[in-house]
Structure formats: C-alpha cells, structure tokens
C-alpha cells in the first residue's frame, strides 16, 4: 500500500507526532471505465484524519491501489488566502488507464466551516467530502449534502442517481486517543453517534457508553487482558481489552480496546505517523510493548499479532470467552460486522 501523507514527514520531529489520529475503512464502488457501461469495481477506502502540532490532514487511499492523495484541512498560518473549498482530479491505476483510456475520479471538499470536538482530528459537522466517478457521486461524507451535490456539478450529474447516493459502509475504525486516566471519543456506532469513555485507575477499568457505565473490571493487575459482552443500544457487543503496558509499569505505553459487532471488520495498514508512534512506544517500553503492539497490518490480508485481535477472532468463531493467553497471529476477515479499535496513550 502506497501512502503519501504530508503530515508523515520528518520522523524525528516530535512536534509532528499525532495529537489525534483516526483511520476508517469504508466499502463502496468506483467506476473504472469512461463508457456508458459504467463498469464498477468494489473498492475499500481508507480515510485517515491526522492532527499534529503543525498540520491537520485528510489522507485517502483507494484499494486495491487505485489512488492515494492527501488534503490539508488548514493552509499554513502565513498564507494570505484561505481556500473555502477545493477539488482535485486523480487518474485511477487501472488497466484502462495504463492502456491510455484514462479513467479518473474527482474529489470535492469544503472544510472552511468544519467543527471539531476538542483535540479531535475528525470533523463532526459543517463540512463535506465527495468522490465523483463517471458523473456519479460514489462517496460522500459530511452534513453539507446539498452543497456537495451543487459543487460537484449537479447540472451534469444524473438527478436520479443523486437521489439514490449510496451510503458508504463503515467496516472498521481505529483511533489513537491521549489522556492520563480518562479517554473519550465519539464514533458512529450501530447507526448512531456514541460517546465512548474509558477510565483506568485504582486497579479498575470502567467503560462508559453515552455516559452510562457498561462494564467495570476490578483487580486489573490480574485481569489485564480479557473480554466481556456488553449491551450498546440493545445490541450485544464484544469488548476486549489489553492493558499489560499499564499494569507492568510502562510510563508512556498504550492500552488496546476493541468493540466488535458480528464478525468484525478489516484493518488498514499502519503507516507514517501512526507507524512511528507504535515504534516509539515499543522502543520506550522495551520487550513488554513489543509483545502487545501489532506490527503494520495490510488491508484485507491483515496479520495482527496483538492478543486482543486474536481473541476477537476466536470468540466470533466459537462464541466463547477467551483467557489471558500469549499473543498469537490473527487474520482479519471481511465477512461482515464492524470493529472499533482504540489505542489509549498515557500523557506524562
């Protein structure tokens, strides 16, 4: 997987380490021809929102290796002009393109009025991002739907297709959150936005969904890894945790938490700032962090050594509970379901 994000340069500069990083995998279709046949290809979009002290970017990768590009959500502070919206035409890496029968997509976006929750890289409203392929909107994020349709060229688009814009299927979400004892995030979960809170202190782990306590794990020194079933919106969700880094005395390590519905989702490759963050943790915490931190994983062929992900696969296949066993290899499937993976980092 080739990724060219601007916020992923200069790995030795700590100011470019992420304050927040969110990666989502969506399933959609893109047209791979310019003819009226409108040949469609199943496509997995990796959307990564990255915020550092110096930059704030959105990186889009279309798999299998169709294109990769990065958009800056905020221009440099010394810029005399602030772009309210933008667009970009990108050729697809397809056999038609290589045969000089150019197949392209066009990206449209507007983040000038985007609003964010504190310390979050992902906007919550006041924005849009769309991908137009063969005169049809194939992918649309944000709440400014009418503006997106108009600026994407509503006069040229098929109005019937506009009315039936396919909602992207969210397969998985991975987020890095930072705190001391409390970690919070907001995610689209089971058809609604959920506020998820994780608290760790006094030898106990507490999980909150929309402000209500869903699970309390006591004697965390003994139960540093495990899984339990919780209810979210009346639906059974398997919750997995691994806080060995914390209970073993790591000062800046991370805890790993998975919320899984059904068979789970697919996982994107770790690259750039995210990859460096994991390496920095492994180097700082030594062999303990290396034992629980997953290596870079590839979309659709993900090999995850993290024990939490291994237990998630085993539980989804046999419906049982897992014990505190050592880390083994997991092959993440794409047969349906959804997974939310949180890396919670302690700030000193």
- Matching residue, tokens 């790993």: 256
- Say if residue 23 is in the same domain as residue 100: yes
Same domain membership, residue 316 and residue 235: yes
Residue 123 has pLDDT above 80, yes or no: yes
In sequence order, the β-bridge partners of residue 341 are 174, 258
Last residue of a domain, one of 167, 201, 219: 167
Residue 153 shares a structural domain with residue 34: yes
Q: Is the CA virtual torsion 299, 303, 306, 309 positive or negative?
A: positive
pLDDT at position 208 = 95
Q: Are residues 187 and 145 in the same domain?
A: no
* Domain final residue, candidates 167, 190, 218: 167
Residue 1 lies in a domain: no
Strands 128-133 and 182-189: unpaired
pLDDT tens readout for residues 45-104: 999 999 888 888 999 999 888 899 999 887 655 444 445 678 999 988 866 555 445 578
Domain count, the chain: 2
Are 56 and 162 in a shared domain? yes
**Is 63 in contact with 300 (CB distance < 8 Å)?**
yes
Q: Which domain holds residue 101?
A: 6-167
pLDDT, tens digit, 9 for 90 and up, residues 193-224: 899 999 998 889 999 999 999 999 999 989 99
CATH number (domain holding residue 211): 2.40.128.180
Assess whether 179 and 254 both reside in one domain: yes
* Shared domain check, 186 and 68: no
Is 33 in the same domain as 84?
Answer: yes
Collect all residues with Cβ–Cβ distance below 8 Å to 155 and sequence separation of at least 6. Answer: none
Which of 133, 150, 167 terminates a domain? The answer is: 167
| Tens digit of each residue's pLDDT (9 = 90 or more) over 281-331 | 666 555 444 444 443 333 333 333 355 655 555 555 444 433 332 222 233
Same domain as 250, residue 150: no
Q: What's the predicted TM-score (pTM) here?
A: 0.77
């Amino acid at each position: 997987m080739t990724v060219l994000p601007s916020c992923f340069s200069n790995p030795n500069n700590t100011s470019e380490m992420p304050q927040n990083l969110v990666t989502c995998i969506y399933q959609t279709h893109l047209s791979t021809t310019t003819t009226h046949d409108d040949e469609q290809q199943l496509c997995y979009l990796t959307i990564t929102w990255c915020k550092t002290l110096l930059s704030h970017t959105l990186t889009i990768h279309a798999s299998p290796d169709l294109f990769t590009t990065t958009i800056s959500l905020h221009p440099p502070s010394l810029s005399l002009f602030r772009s309210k919206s933008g667009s970009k035409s990108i050729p697809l890496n397809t056999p038609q393109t290589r045969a000089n029968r150019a197949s392209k997509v066009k990206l449209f976006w507007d983040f000038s009025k985007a609003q964010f929750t504190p310390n979050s890289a992902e906007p919550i409203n006041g924005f849009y991002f769309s991908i137009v392929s063969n005169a049809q909107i194939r992918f649309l994020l944000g709440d400014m739907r009418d503006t997106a349709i108009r600026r994407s060229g509503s006069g040229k688009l098929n109005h019937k297709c506009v009315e039936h814009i396919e909602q992207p299927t969210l397969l998985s979400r991975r987020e890095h959150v930072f705190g001391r004892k409390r970690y919070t995030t907001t995610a689209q979960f089971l058809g609604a936005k959920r506020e998820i809170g994780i608290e760790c202190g006094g030898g106990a782990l507490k999980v909150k969904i929309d402000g209500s306590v869903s699970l309390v794990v006591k004697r965390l020194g003994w139960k540093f890894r495990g899984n339990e079933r919780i209810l979210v919106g009346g639906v059974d969700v398997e919750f997995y945790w691994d806080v060995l880094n914390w209970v073993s005395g790591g000062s800046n390590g991370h805890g790993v938490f998975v919320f899984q519905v059904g068979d789970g989702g697919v996982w994107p490759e770790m690259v750039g700032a995210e990859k460096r963050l994991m390496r920095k943790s492994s180097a700082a915490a030594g062999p303990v962090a290396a034992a629980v931190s997953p290596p870079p994983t590839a979309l659709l062929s993900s090999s995850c050594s993290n024990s939490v992900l291994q237990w998630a696969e085993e539980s989804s296949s046999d419906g049982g509970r897992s014990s505190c066993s050592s880390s083994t290899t997991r092959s993440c499937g794409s047969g349906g379901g959804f997974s939310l993976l949180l890396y919670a980092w302690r700030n000193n």
